[in-house]
A and B are shown apart, each in its own frame.
Chain A
Amino acid sequence: MADSFDDAVRAHDNAQYVLRLYVSGMTPRSTRAVENVRKVCEEYLAGRYELEVVDIYQQPSLARDRQIIAAPTLIKEMPLPLRRIIGDLSSTERVLIGLDIRQA
Chain B
Amino acid sequence: MSDSNPGRASLSKAPTGIAGLDEITHGGLPAGRPTLIAGGPGSGKTLLGISFLVHGALHHGEPGVLMSFEENAEELAADVASLGFDLDALVGQKKLFIDYVQIERSEIEETGDYDLDGLFVRLEHAIRSVGAKRVVLDTLEALFSGLQNEAILRAELRRLFRWLRDRNLTVLVTGEKGEASLTRYGIEEYVSDAVIQLDHRIHEQISTRRIRVVKYRGSHHGTNEYPFLIGADGVNVLPVTSLLLEHAAFEERVSTGLPSLDKMLGGEGYYRGSTVLVSGTAGTGKTTVAAHFAQATCRRGQRCLYFLFEESPRQMMRNMRSAGIELESYLEQGLLQFHADRPARHGLENHLLMMHQAIERFRPDTVVLDPMTNLLAIGTRLDVQSMLTRMIDHLKVQGVTALFTSLTGASADIEVTQTGISSLVDTWIRLSLEERQRRLERWIYVLKSRGMAHSDEVRYFRIGAAGVEILPPEATDRRLQA
A interface list, Cβ under 8 A from B: 22, 24, 29, 32-33, 56-57, 60-61, 63-64, 67-73, 81-91, 94-95, 97-98
| CB-based nearest B residue for A82 | B107
Quick one: which of B99, B113, B116 has the most chain A CB within 10 A?
B113
Q: How far is the CB of B158 from chain A (nearest CB, A)?
A: 16
Cβ of B122 and Cβ of A72 under 8 Å apart? no
- Contacts A22-B118, A68-B118, A71-B117 given: A89-B101 contact, CB under 8 Å? no
Q: Identify which of A24, A33, A81 contacts B118 (C-beta below 8 A).
A: A24
Rounded to whole Å, the gap between the CB of A55 and the closest CB of chain B is 10
- Measured between beta carbons, the chain A residues less than 8 angstroms from B117 are 24, 56, 70-71
Contacts of A90 in B (CB 8 A): 111-113
Determine the chain B residues whose CB is within 8 A of the CB of A22 once the complex forms: 118
Min Cβ gap A15→B in Å is 18
| Interchain CB contact under 8 A, A70 and B116 | yes
Determine the interface band of chain B, counting residues with CB < 8 A from chain A: 20 to 34
Which residues on the B side are within 8 Å of A24 (C-beta)? 115, 117-118, 120-121
| Contact status B143-A69, CB under 8 Å | yes
Q: Given A85-B110, A86-B109, A67 and B115 touching (CB < 8 A)?
A: no
One of A57, A60, A88, A94 near B109 (C-beta < 8 A): A94
- Say yes or no for B102: interface residue by CB 8 A criterion: yes
Residues in A with CB closer than 8 Å to B103 are: 67, 69
Across the interface, which residues of A come within 8 angstroms of B122, CB to CB?
Answer: 60, 63-64, 68
Whether a CB of chain A sits under 8 angstroms from the CB of B124 is yes
Instruction: Say if the beta carbon of B26 comes within 8 Å of chain A.
Output: no
Identify B113's interface contact among A67, A82, A88, CB under 8 A: A88
Main secondary structure of the interface of A (DSSP, over half): mixed
Contacts of A71 in B (CB 8 A): 114-118, 121
Q: What are the 5 closest A-B residue pairs judged by CB atoms, nearest first? A: A98-B109, A24-B117, A90-B112, A68-B118, A87-B112
A64-B99, A64-B125 given as contacts; is B118 within 8 A of A69 (CB)?
Answer: yes
Query: Are A95 and B114 closer than 8 Å at their CB atoms?
Result: no
> Please, which residues of chain B bring their CB within 8 A of the CB of A97?
109
- Residues on B with beta carbons closer than 8 Å to the beta carbon of A87: 110-114
Residues 116-152 of B at the A interface (beta carbon under 8 Å): 116-122, 124-126, 143, 146-147
Q: Are B113 and A29 in contact (CB under 8 A)?
A: yes
- Asked if A83 and B121 make an inter-chain contact with CB atoms under 8 angstroms apart, the answer reads no
Which residues of the other chain, A, contact B102 by a CB distance below 8 angstroms?
67
B180 at the A interface (CB under 8 A): no
Verify if B108 is at the interface (C-beta below 8 Å from A): yes
Known contacts A64-B99, A67-B102; A86/B114 CB under 8 A: yes
Residue of B101, B118, B125 touching A61 (CB-CB under 8 A): B125
B446 to chain A, nearest CB (A): 70
Cβ–Cβ < 8 Å partners of B113 in chain A: 29, 87-88, 90
Alpha-carbon gap, A86 to B119, bound state (A): 13
| Contact A60–B124 (Cβ < 8 Å) | yes
Complex contact A60–B125 (CB within 8 A): yes
User: Can you give 19 A-B contacts (C-beta < 8 A)?
Assistant: A24-B120, A29-B113, A60-B122, A60-B124, A61-B125, A68-B122, A70-B115, A70-B119, A71-B114, A83-B107, A83-B108, A85-B108, A86-B108, A86-B114, A86-B147, A87-B110, A87-B112, A88-B111, A95-B111
